[in-house]
Structure 1
Amino acid sequence: MAADWTQLPPELLESISRNLTVYADYLRFRCVCQSWLSSVPTTPYHLPPQLPWLMLPQSHFHRPHRAFFNLSNDKVHALYLPEAAHGKRRCGSSHGWLVVLEETPSVLLLNPLTRAKLHLPPLSTFPNVVRFDYSEIGREYVLRSSTGELYTRSLRQMRDSFFKKLVLSSSPARANGFTALAILNQTGDLAFCRNGDQSWTFIDGARSYSEDVVYMEGLFFAVNKYGGVAVCDIRGVSPSVSFLETPRQMGADMQYLVNSGDDLLLVPRYLDLDYDNVDDESNVVYRTVGFDVFKMNWSGPRWEKVSDLGDRVLFIGLNSSFSLSASDFPGCVGNSIYFTDDYSEFNFESAFGEHDSGIFRLCDETIQGQWNLHCQVHWPPPLWVTPNPC
């Protein structure tokens, strides 16, 4: 007699579901029958970080849908996201949440998978904003520079260039709260807000450590152009900053920090400059020509060269940089860096031609273009977003 799988005990079904690590498998499990559906939680809080999707510059679908390229099956999926539609800037992603700005002071966190939304303190609450005018007459910000001089920025300028990147300590949906840390593009300042704060606070002493930020073991680590690291502890009443004095890493155009298992990695990126003729005009075109990888030796402290990442794969770009095990996800190549263009976000002329994105293989230092076929326009650049149901 055939077994009736619909009659499995609920506690056994829940135990099985907790061994599923891929969100798509969890959804398929719940769809088997009504009893399986009712025996496991709707939201799988136990899941590890998922293989990211690539948010494409232009949707293949009618607005207000957005297009996402799925690495695991080479398919493009449409998500209904009017909050991230044309005219709004997606300035980063962290823990599966998009950071969305428009021509208002609003700073919106949006989970594209669940469409959950949360507002952070507005741009007008940053300490260097002296005055904000949203009337029909003014519609501008007045800011104070690091030297004390006042200058103005339009609403669009603030939307397009105020933030460089925003990093979250954890998903905003988690019950234990979270902290957001923003890198300001023009001044190089770091600013933070905790869940429930009404305004942003600068981290004194960390200016110029604005290449990248990563959250690790309760602390934010920020890196400068030369691989120097500022360790920001903002768990107390007021933030404190200490520094890891490491030998300078020279020659790189950009620097990234990645939390990879128990290791803190530094990933220098090297660009080459070329010119492309478009409509009889010569335009600057940047192309990535290589990466290095270094691991922090805490006893130095010093950066030590890494020639082989093993099974690990790194994802860098405008997203919060992170690492995964390639063997956990079909179609993912280990010992590689999956990168997207995050400099033409602020240098629009470099966005002519194909996007500077692809896979850098450490084994032979080659670059494989991967997703340009799906990028039908050149701005904004594609963005890694990790599917996160919670």
Structure 2
Amino acid sequence: MHDLHRLVLRHPRRHRLHALRRKHIRGHPAGSPPIGGRYWLGAAHGWLATADADSAEVRLVNPVTGQQIDALPPVPTIAHLRGRDAGPIEPGYDYEICSYDWRLEQPQPNNPPRPIPVKAGELAKRLDMRAFLSSDPSHRPGGCFIVVLLNRPDCELSFARVGVDERWTWIGRRTSYADAVNNDGDGLFYALTIAGGIHAYDLAGRASAVRQTTFLHDQVHDIIDTDTKYLVQAPGGGQEWLQVWRMMEPVPTPEGGGSSTHLFTTVWIKVFRVDVDTQTLVKTVTFRENTNHALFIGCNQAFWVPAGEHAGVMPNHIYYTDNEECYALYFPESPRDIGVYNVGDGSFKQFRTPRPWLNWPLPCWFIPSLGSYRQWS
């Protein structure tokens, strides 16, 4: 693991890497790598998942080396996206986003879900929400790895094996998800539902071979659909899992002249252990016994940092960035919520003062990678 754990930020002309240990910011031109003007869908293994603003095409970029991966399937192959020539659509729009696979299913006649008409230039913010990687692309022989997309409007999943699949495969299970993570131990993707359940998917084979296993049933207590949920393996790996629930609300913030404004701010965080035997969630104030790790969450895939190996990182703390995507889309110029949460005593503190230009795309935690992606021809 690299010594420097960085926060990837951007303003219109440059993206920036904030070094956590050295507490400084290093700038890079936004054109190299080419991430300026794109939507950020997440970060993992040293790579940033982006969506083109004009087409919503998903591309992976290494912000340190500048390498870009374009080998993902075209966005129009996502199952619940219908092009203009595929059916009736309002004039002036290029696509419809359906709540079902329009090629295979018919809406219920008594209560048909209304498709959402969108223009090509609006598709990225209307369709793409999050992206998750199975592994570091530079560590995969032949370049084959899996990308999972969390799509609007119903928070459902699509996936593709990069370098293998020509289309995105929709996991149309009528389930809304909040997060997904690949388990290196068994090779399965574990997806967290908005109701606190966990489904395990085998995505390594053909689309027809996708299998789902319910690892944890949806929870019926303390459910708040408006919070943000994260799924992480406990430090050390294995089959011990944690869920982190985070609530953001508009909080009055004073301005000059006696006026005030409302900023979306984290008001509480809860950490649960997953008890598979009893099929319940158990609230906890520690990540794991005898651990000194800190957890980093946001629009990146959550990851652990050993506090003793990195100056300034506190054990049993959660470092978070703003990833309330719906709010950010409507208020892209608002300051972002970046802070630190003490799991033991429930206290918060601001990590650093957000600067006005550190707002959009949403900042995310990032571990640099100097590896290179190579795909067999």
Task: Give the TM-score range, shorter chain.
Answer: 0.7 to 0.9
User: Is 1:245 matched up with 2:217?
Assistant: yes
Q: Does 1:107 align with 2:78?
A: no
Matched residues, number:
335
What is the Cα deviation at residue 311 of structure 1?
Answer: 0.8
Contact 1:130 1:142 in 2 (8 A): yes
Q: Distance in 2 between matches of 1:168 and 1:338?
A: 21
Give 2:264's aligned residue: 286
TM-score, normalising length: structure 1? 0.78
Structure 1 position 221, deviation (Å):
1.1
The verdict on how the C-alpha distance between 1:185 and 1:326 changes in structure 2, with shifts beyond 3 A counting, is farther
Aligned residue for 1:372, secondary structure, equals: coil
Q: 2:199 aligns with which of 226, 230, 241?
A: 230
**For the Cα contact (< 8 Å) 2:295–2:302, is it kept in 1?**
yes
Which of 42, 66, 74 is the equivalent residue of 1:122?
74
Q: Is the deviation greater in 349-358 or in 197-206?
A: 349-358
Does the Cα contact within 8 Å between 2:336 and 2:354 map onto a contact in 1?
A: no
- For 2:17 and 2:255, how far apart are their aligned partners in 1? 28
Q: In the alignment, does 2:280 pair up with 1:296?
A: no
Amino acid at match of 2:193: N
Deviation at 1:370, TM superposition (A): 1.4
1:299 counterpart letter in structure 2: D
Q: What's the counterpart of residue 229 of structure 2?
A: 255
Shift of 1:149: 4.6
Contact 1:94 1:166 survives alignment (8 Å): no
Larger Rg: 1
**Structure 1, unaligned runs of 5 or more:** 1-20, 24-50
* Conserved? CA contact 2:338–2:354, under 8 Å: no
Check 1:211–1:313 CA distance in 2 against 1; reply closer, same or farther (3 A cut): same
- Equivalent positions of 1:1-390 (< 5 A) are 22=2, 51-58=4-11, 63=13, 65-82=14-31, 83-102=33-52, 103-119=54-70, 120-131=72-83, 140-146=94-100, 147=107, 149-176=114-141, 177-196=144-163, 197-205=165-173, 207-208=175-176, 210-216=177-183, 217=185, 218-237=187-206, 238-243=209-214, 244-245=216-217, 247-252=219-224, 253-260=227-234, 261-262=236-237, 263-275=240-252, 284-309=262-287, 310-344=291-325, 346-349=327-330, 354-390=335-371
Kindly provide the amino acid, as one letter, of the partner of residue 159 in structure 1: A
Taking the aligned partners of 1:115 and 1:265, their CA distance within structure 2 comes to 34
1:348–1:247 Cα change, 3 Å: closer
Instruction: Give me the whole-angstrom Cα distance separating, in 2, the residues matched to 1:375 and 1:300.
Output: 47
Structure 1 contact 358–368 (Cα < 8 Å) conserved: yes
Distance, in Å, in 2 between the alignment partners of 1:384 and 1:115 is: 18
Identity %: 25
Q: Is the 8 A contact 1:92 1:99 kept in 2?
A: yes
Displacement of 1:375 in angstroms is 4.8
Amino acid at match of 2:212: V
Q: Is the 8 A contact 2:51 2:128 kept in 1?
A: no
SS at the partner of 2:201? strand
The Cα of 1:247 is off from its aligned counterpart by 3.7
Residue identity in the other structure for 2:118: R
Aligned equivalents of 2:256 and 2:347: distance in 1? 31
SS at match of 2:121: helix
Q: What SS class does the counterpart of residue 319 from structure 1 fall into?
A: coil
Measure how far apart 1:251 and its partner are. Answer: 4.5
* AA matched with 2:241: L
Q: Is the 8 A contact 2:296 2:302 kept in 1?
A: yes
CA deviation digits over 1:153-191, x for unaligned, max 9? 112321123111100000112234211111113122101
- 1:168 maps to a residue whose letter is L
Partner of 2:374: none
Contact 1:219 1:231 in 2 (8 A): yes
Cα distance in 2 for residues equivalent to 1:69 and 1:366: 24
Moved more, 287-296 or 152-161: 152-161
- 1:189 maps to a residue whose letter is E
